[in-house]
Chain A
Amino acid sequence: MPARRSPAVAIEASGLVKSFGETRAVDGVDLTVRTGTVYGVLGPNGAGKTTTLRMLATLLVPDAGSARVLGHDIVREADAVRGRVSLTGQFASVDDDLTGAENLILLGRLMGYSRARARERADALLHAFGLTEAADRLVRTYSGGMRRRLDIPASIVVTPDLLFLDEPTTGLDPRSRNQLWDIVRLLVAEGTTVLLTTQYLDEADQLAERLAIIDRGRVIAEGTVEEIKASVGSGVLHVRLGDPERRPAAAALLERSLNLTTYSEGDPARLSARVSAGEEVTRALDVLARNGIPVTAFSFGQPSLDEVFLALTGHRTADDAAEEVTA
């Protein structure tokens, strides 16, 4: 339980810039994160999420701009920041050549615990995360999921005031992912602030109160999850047409009669439309049926990151990747 009082704003960043050679990985990022909340940073690979997080965790010095974390300047008072934050990197940052228990004892000792207390902390954390049986095995023998599971206790040997999680659920199975979400909620209930990066809108939706969407090193949208969704539409309807030839007609129909935004993807029989409410789904299907356009299948889901991007920027993340490859 964080004993020290924290300012109302846990992170305040303005105009953060970081370049690597010619690439401007982060190009003027502003962020404000309230203490005691989960803040999500959402974006595709290479958008600048990790670089932003590494600057805030004092691992990188920004080229321009400034940020205060828990009231301390990330450059001039980096050591004070380090005393109160913890980081879980994108890849499990645990020592392969040590056992699970040794990993945690090592970190406990480095944080200043006595030998006995470090051992006690390690045992408690291994128990809490269901790793007691694997405690004395070398981490190199762990499965990917187990390594990830060790990574979280490694970050909370001393419960931090602020926890940075860099794509914490990438590569986890759904059950482990739900467990991790649960742990994050619990930490927040106990007073820790969490900044997490993710590629999944679903994850941000589950955890974050506010989120920033980052593209090409810039924040292109910021707000509560509801606000972001309202600007995108709460969901996307995908339909599969019985006759691909009729796709332009179907698109025109939905746009004209229901004022929906549609987009057509590679598959010629597939048509998608952004919808803001469930009832729009039934109306859209109804309109298509009444105009003699057969639908063989349909699905309704949350917008993917890709669809959020399309809505916010007019370009798709996948296309960007393709451009980069050909350029």
Chain B
Amino acid sequence: MTTQAPLRLAEIDERVRSALSSDRPRRPSALAVSLTFAWRTLLKMRHVPEQLFDVTAFPIMFTLMFTYLFGGAIAGSTRAYLQFLLPGIVVQTVVFITMYSAAGLNTDISNGIFDRFRSMPIWRPAPLVGSFLGDAVRYSMASLIVIVVGLILGFRPGGGALGVVAAVGLLLVFAFSLGWIWALFGLIMRTPNGVMMSSMMVLFPLTFASSIFVDPRTMPWWLQRFVNVNPITLMATAERGLMAGTATVGQVVVVLAVSAAIVAIFAPITMYRYRNLR
């Protein structure tokens, strides 16, 4: 016993000594670091796949409920309503998942892993940008699930596969810009639950007071005023247009402009908060 202890200690010493690095790698580029963070997001998705089911079960429920409960009343027939509703539901689905990303960010901050990232010599926005990039995969998968359900129920996009792909692509750009807003929430709030609650409060009125479920022309004038400038409406209109193959350049450009404006406003504020985390 007495001779064994020091031997074992020496062995640990030797192992640790040989595990010390003798080299110093070159600092990776901003893109390489962002992609590494995107990889991290994908790994997490693979390890915790339940997350994706959580966020897609809800929109599938919505599609079924609205189509069959209200479809007849709103659009005359459930089939006609589905053509109108489905692109909007895709938008709603993705917009809601962006919020889950913010909750994840908040967890990263509270368990200290962001301290480690922030003390590393890497491009500062990389952890955020990388997680947005990784989330794009999650958003695409969720869109795909909702679209497939739609196709099964009888949704027939006039824009064909290309139109649908373009619609999802535009939605990813819009989701990327929203990411900066929720990231700010994630940085300010104390708990992931707080993030969910507060972004819910923003998202519920925004998605319902939009053109996702009903044509704004059926609403009172004062509500129309709001609904018509609501970014979610702009996004839903472009999404619908692209999927139906009737989108105008103006519809697409306005979404890109809104997304650019959101990034221009929120990215600096979010990065300021990120640099000055307590």
Contact = CB atoms under 8 A, between A and B. Distances in A.
B119 A57 contact: yes
Interface stretch (B21-29, B61-69, B93-101): B21-29
A8 interface: no
Interface in A164-181: 179
Given A59-B115, A59-B277, A110 B33 contact: yes
B201 interface: no
A98 B21 contact: no
A127 interface: yes
A30 interface: no
A262 interface: no
B12 interface: yes
A256 to B, nearest CB: 47
B276 interface: yes
A96 interface: yes
Contact of A179 (B12, B24, B116, B119): B12
B35 to A, nearest CB: 9
A153 B20 contact: no
Given A95-B113, A158-B25, A85 B16 contact: no
Contacts of B119: 57-59, 82, 85-87
A238 to B, nearest CB: 31
Contact of B115 (A79, A89, A112, A190): A89
Contacts of A79: 121
B120 interface: yes
The size class of the interface chain B forms with chain A is 35 or more
B19 A106 contact: no
A124 B47 contact: no
A327 interface: no
Interface stretch (B36-44, B216-224, B260-268): B36-44
A110 B115 contact: no
B18 A87 contact: no
A124 B19 contact: yes
B111 A93 contact: yes
A89 B112 contact: yes
B202 interface: no
B43 A98 contact: yes
Nearest to A153: B19
A82 B121 CA distance: 5
11 contacts: A83-B27, A89-B116, A91-B112, A95-B44, A97-B44, A102-B43, A110-B122, A111-B121, A128-B16, A182-B9, A182-B12
